[in-house]
Chain A
Amino acid sequence: MSSMQKYISNTVKSIPPSGIRKFFDLVSQTEGVISLGVGEPDYATPWHIREACFHSLEQGYTMYTSNSGLLELREEIAKYMKKGIGIEYNPEDEILVTVGVSEGVDIALRSLIEPGDEVLIPDPSYVCYGPGASLSYGEPVSLPTYDEDEYRLRPDVLESKITDKSKVLILGYPNNPTGGIMHKEDLEALVDIIVKNDLIVISDEIYSELTYNGKHVSIASLPGMQERTVVLNGFSKAYAMTGWRIGYACGHPDIIGAMTKIHQYTIMCAPIMAQKAALEALRHGEGEMRKMVEDYNYRRKIIVSEFNEMGLTCFEPKGAFYCFPSIQKTGMTSEEFCEKLLIEEQVAVVPGNAFGESGEGFIRCCYAASVSNIEQALERMSNFCIRHIK
């Protein structure tokens, strides 16, 4: 142990490094890699949004905003939420502009969790939920979801994991890494359990616009759920604005108020230029966004069809831009598979176990890549499977 390790808090030491990060180090040392490992759009932010940011800078918008974010942005978010998921939020005290959904997850958990409280997290899920719960001195509890259920959270699984310490349920649908979504009836089946056990839901809906063949349903829109749900969303995925770090949280004024307290003492406010760009995205970005989503939809169909053909069975993801094929026929663990694939064919995909135990035996492939890159990657993967599927 190096000399400074003794100063690091035990809470931080207890958190394992991200599985994605570990794999990233290996990928960076390999040349000629085609990557399906990137969890972000392959588009740059639409030009008119970038242009709006330049314009705002020229106008001298370089200062702090209110802790909660520009009021005009919160008003626009309120309109978007009303139109998109049918919920009314008061822009004055029910909406907080955050530095991406990641900050939203962090401050929502820190606002809600007492030491020892249990945080229920579907598995596999995005990598930040579990460590986020631990950093809030809570206990992450994994709720396994299954390939055969298309990774929807089953009410019996939820019920079986609830104890008197359970306080928060995190739902991240459409789901990263599986592409699974929750239909209205799936969510309805959870509501009674949530209410009966007095749980608060943190609903990460960053991929809500990337829902194919239907419309995204937010659990907050179901009767009795608005006040016990914190909806998190942002601009990274739908508007190709990952690097801007801009998102928002909507919920009951007491919870948003608590989150704002932490936000004001740590972040102060989201950068004004990103807020100005987000405003442009909401006001004029829908057309470009729809075009991108249509494109992901086409790529999704190609990748799923090819994976099934090469023997990596894969259910059709209904949201986000990932598919999650099974690699069980190769007999390898997901880490072995990814390392071998990288070394033998120079294709980067992410091991499923990076997203939780239930992800073992699967890999995450992002199809936000050009059709020619997808085709090339699939060809290489097909050669790999011919050699390794017995």
Chain B
Amino acid sequence: MELEKEILKLIENNSQLTAKNLAIMLDESEEKINFIIKQLEQDKVILGYNTIINWEKVDGEGVTAMIDVKVIPQREVGFNSIAERIYRFPEVRSVNLMSGTYDLSVVVFGENMKDVANFVSQKLSTLEHVQSTVTHFILKTYKKDGYLFDEPEEDKRLVVSP
């Protein structure tokens, strides 16, 4: 379990680490590392390998919105059933159950604002048990998943130190 956690911590920060390097770093065999990673993938502990991209630098297209959703919980299933209906829409990037003034926080990505507006008015708010929605468009991303978007910390060291 400890080794699994060590592997997860390392590849969470850098999914490009090779099994060979992980093996050297953790004093284990490459075969064992490969085996554990496969196992973690099968058990859905590792769900995927994403790349964090600053799309604004590439084309600036696309709009992301965070939508606060109030829902009426249902008997026996609470919020799960409605959350499941919401997260199955392909436009939806993430869904979280929240404490506080609203129930679900839904992150939606669309090609443009009209796309997102259509999704909210036609698909999301018309769902049974959805009481209200408040849509916040993301204007600029400064930091995501621990990475700074605008000001990456450059290596400011001299090439050879004195």
Chain B residues with Cβ under 8 A from A375's Cβ? 21
Could you tell me the distance between the alpha carbons of A3 and B156 in the complex, rounded to whole angstroms?
37
Q: Is the CB of B161 within 8 A of A40?
A: yes
Could you tell me the distance between the alpha carbons of A305 and B153 in the complex, rounded to whole angstroms?
29
Which residue in A24, A35, A44, A301 is a CB contact (below 8 Å) of B162? A24
Could you tell me the distance between the alpha carbons of A242 and B158 in the complex, rounded to whole angstroms?
12
Q: Is the CB of A38 within 8 A of B27?
A: no
Number of interface residues of A (CB under 8 A): 25
Chain A residues with Cβ under 8 A from B27's Cβ? 301
Q: Is the CB of B160 within 8 A of A35?
A: yes
Q: Is the CB of A301 within 8 A of B159?
A: no
Could you tell me the distance between the alpha carbons of A42 and B25 in the complex, rounded to whole angstroms?
19
CB distance from B21 to the nearest CB of A (A): 6
Q: Is the CB of A371 within 8 A of B159?
A: no
Q: Is the CB of A24 within 8 A of B153?
A: no
Flag A289-309 by CB within 8 Å of B: 1 or 0 each. 000000000100110010000
Q: Does B98 belong to the interface (CB within 8 Å)?
A: no
Q: Is the CB of A305 within 8 A of B161?
A: no
**Interface residue SS majority, chain A:** helix
**Known contacts A301-B24, A301-B25, A42 near B161 by CB under 8 Å:** no
Across the two chains, which residue of chain A brings its CB closest to B154? Answer: A44
Q: Does A350 belong to the interface (CB within 8 Å)?
A: yes
Q: Is the CB of A350 within 8 A of B24?
A: no
Q: Does A348 belong to the interface (CB within 8 Å)?
A: yes
Chain B residues with Cβ under 8 A from A20's Cβ? 160-162
- Chain A residues with CB under 8 Å of chain B are 18, 20-21, 23-24, 27-28, 33, 35, 37-40, 42, 44, 242, 298, 301-302, 305, 348, 350, 371-372, 375
Interface contacts beyond A24-B158, A35-B159, A375-B21: sample of 16 additional A-B pairs, CB < 8 Å, sorted by A: A23-B160, A27-B160, A38-B157, A38-B158, A38-B161, A39-B161, A40-B161, A44-B153, A298-B25, A301-B27, A302-B21, A305-B24, A348-B159, A348-B160, A371-B14, A372-B16
